[in-house]
Amino acid sequence: MGVDPERIPQHIAVIMDGNGRWAERRGWPRLMGHERGYQTVDRIVTFAAELGVRAMTLYTFSAENWRRPESEIEGIMRLIAQAAREQLMKLLENGVQLRLAGRIHELPDFVREPLLEDVLSTRDNTGLVLTLAINYGGRAELVDAARALAEQVRAGTLDPAQIGEDTLAACLYQPDLPEPDLLIRTAGEMRISNFLLWQIAYAEIHVTQVLWPDFSEDDLLRAIADYQSRVRKFGGIPAAV
């Protein structure tokens, strides 16, 4: 499927949905779906970098996912820790810079520590910026930003009258990342599930019925082609051609 290489979205965010359903349809434990989904992440991030995508943000584990069965949560945490240990060399070889978004301090030590090591090891890489949203919630991010602003006001370093969109945005988890151009959601659900509530204000949204473990390079190209077919108005009216 052809896409215009001059109009590749610079930042793609993905709600990776459907791992559990993928496994259940095959009569397998849900964790096997998460394991296959991890393999999909590896393929898609590599392909996106080849296309010229500059940043990807993946909804890896939401703050609400703690409500799942304890055995599934433990399996997901161990899978994230395993990926952090196994993927460092590939991240370095491909020039990928790893970042994290969410309340990372609340993660178990065995998960948090290898992730932070990868962030430190790849901080000087200049290729695709890969952000993993882990223990992440869009509302929680805004609450944390509001708290940071309140602390600045209390310290006397910020006048409340000066608070605007830019000052709040500067307190988000990854304030220097450009806002996503394209949000992809797999598995057909028509909701954003508390993901990047501030940042996706003007993102184009592409929903596919494909479950995340089955999401292919061609599916990414379809999403990008859909994005390129849109007229982005940002609240205005496009100029006449």
Q: Active site includes 65?
A: yes
Q: Which of 4, 17, 125, 218 is catalytic?
A: 17
Q: What distance in Å separates the CA atoms of residue 13 and residue 181, rounded to the nearest whole number?
A: 8
Q: How far is CA 112 from the centre of its chain?
A: 17
Beta carbons of 166 and 175 less than 8 angstroms apart: no
Helices (H), ranges, the chain: 19-24, 30-51, 70-86, 88-93, 109-122, 138-154, 165-169, 217-229
Active-site position among 4, 65, 94, 166:
65
Does residue 17 have an active-site annotation? yes
**Contact assessment for residue 45 and residue 60, using Cβ atoms and an 8 Å cutoff:** no
Distance CA 56, CA 144 (A): 22
Instruction: Tell me the catalytic residues.
Output: 17, 65
